[in-house]
């Protein structure tokens, strides 16, 4: 069974731009969670989607948003990029509920200049 | 905040067992102990999880103390490719809550 895939793997943007990252969960998984990893803050939870609805949200500003499609694929968007948004963005999927074992994708490395 | 305490770093000789400890003294009755590892700049990899019984899979063994306040992840024959940051996480299993809260983990260095 194929794992979680994320596109693109690497991205360079400039301050003020916006970016959209994509995540395809493991086949049959319906819950998708997003995490941000930075050297200073470590791995932090952004939000979780299930059946096209956001169920949980971490402590991030409204510039960070996401959505989930009917095929469980998910996208996250960051608007008005700041230098501090440079990070590894990770997507994880689980079968039905976020409380089940989550499996991570390889991540998207975002660099904001 | 993470509910676990782990040593920041450990060394292990290649071919020997790596024993990674984790303290979780405030764990609740419905919370599981999960272990993930992250090899440099890759996505975290699920290793194993357990509630109160010891668990074993093809990657590792998980030993949980009887009072559930601590656990040990055992990699029976460490290789250089096991060099990674290992995260111990406690969380409820099932339900709509339970996003993973990562601490700083233990950086395991396997040396030849």
Lowest mean pLDDT among A1-5, A19-23, B48-52: A1-5
Write phi, then psi, for B13 (nearest 5 degrees): -80, 140
Among the listed residues A24, A66, A21, A28, the one whose alpha carbon sits nearest the alpha carbon of residue A48:
A66
- Indicate yes or no: CB of B96 within 8 angstroms of CB of A106: no
* pLDDT band per the 50, 70, 90 thresholds, residue A2: confident
B40 to chain A: nearest residue by CA? A106
In 3D space, the residue among A48, A46, A45, A43 whose CA is nearest the CA of residue A29 turns out to be: A48
Distances (CA, A) of A107 to A87, A96, B49, B100: 10, 21, 23, 16
Q: What are phi and psi of A33, to 5 degrees?
A: -120, 150
pLDDT value of position B9: 98
* Confidence band, pLDDT 50/70/90 cuts, at residue B94: low
Give me the pLDDT at residue B79, please: 97
List CB contacts (< 8 A) between A45 and chain B. 99-101
Whether A39 has its CB under 8 Å from any CB of chain B: the answer is no
Tokens representing B78 are 């460490």
Residue B76 has pLDDT above 60, yes or no: yes
- pLDDT tens digits for B10-53? 999 999 999 999 999 999 888 899 999 999 889 999 999 999 98
Residue A102 per-residue DSSP state: P
Query: In this structure, are residues B3 and B90 in contact, taking their beta carbons and an 8 Å threshold?
Result: yes
Bigger pLDDT: B2 vs A21: A21
Write down the mean pLDDT value for chain B: 92
Residue in chain B lying closest to A99 (CA) = B94
Nearest CA in chain B to A39: B104
pLDDT above 70 as % of chain B: 94
Average pLDDT estimate for A91-103: 84
d(C-alpha A79, C-alpha A81), whole Å? 5
Q: How confident is the model at residue B97 (pLDDT cuts 50, 70, 90)?
A: low
Peptide bond into B10 cis (omega under 30): no
Q: Do B99 and A45 touch (CB under 8 A)?
A: yes
Asked if A37 and A44 touch (Cβ cutoff 8 Å), the reply is yes
- Give the residue on B whose Cα is nearest the Cα of A91: B43
pLDDT at B95 over 70: no
Q: How many angstroms separate the CA of residue A60 from the nearest CA in chain B?
A: 15
Give how far A21 is from chain B: nearest CA, Å.
15
Q: What pLDDT score was predicted for residue B93?
A: 67
Count residue pairs from A and B with Cβ separation < 8 A: 64
Measured between beta carbons, which residues in chain A are less than 8 angstroms from residue B94? Answer: 97, 99-100
Q: What is the pLDDT of residues A37-50, one digit of tens each?
A: 999 899 999 999 99
Q: Is A60 on the interface with B (CB under 8 A)?
A: no
Q: What confidence score (pLDDT) does residue B61 get?
A: 98
Residue in B46, B94, B102 nearest the CB of A43? B102
């Amino acid at each position: 069974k194929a794992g979680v895939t994320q596109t693109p793997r690497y991205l360079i943007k400039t301050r003020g731009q916006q970016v959209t990252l994509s995540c395809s969960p493991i086949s049959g998984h319906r819950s998708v969670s997003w995490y941000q990893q930075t050297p200073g803050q470590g791995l932090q939870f952004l939000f979780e989607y299930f059946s096209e609805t956001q169920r949980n949200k971490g402590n991030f500003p409204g510039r960070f948003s996401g959505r989930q499609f009917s095929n469980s694929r998910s996208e996250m968007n960051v608007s008005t990029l700041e230098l501090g948004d440079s990070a590894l963005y990770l997507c994880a999927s689980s079968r039905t509920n976020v409380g089940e074992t989550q499996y991570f994708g390889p991540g998207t490395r975002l660099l904001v200049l | 905040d993470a509910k676990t305490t782990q040593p920041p770093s450990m060394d292990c000789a290649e071919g020997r067992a790596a024993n990674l400890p984790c303290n979780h003294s405030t764990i609740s009755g419905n919370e599981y102990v999960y272990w993930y590892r992250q090899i440099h700049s890759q996505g975290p990899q699920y290793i194993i999880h357990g509630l109160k019984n010891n668990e074993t899979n093809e990657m590792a063994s998980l030993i949980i103390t009887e009072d559930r306040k601590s656990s040990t992840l055992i990699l029976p024959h460490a290789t250089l490719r096991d060099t990674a940051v290992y995260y111990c996480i406690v969380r409820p299993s099932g339900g709509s809550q339970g996003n993973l809260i990562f601490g700083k983990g233990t950086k395991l260095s396997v040396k030849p």
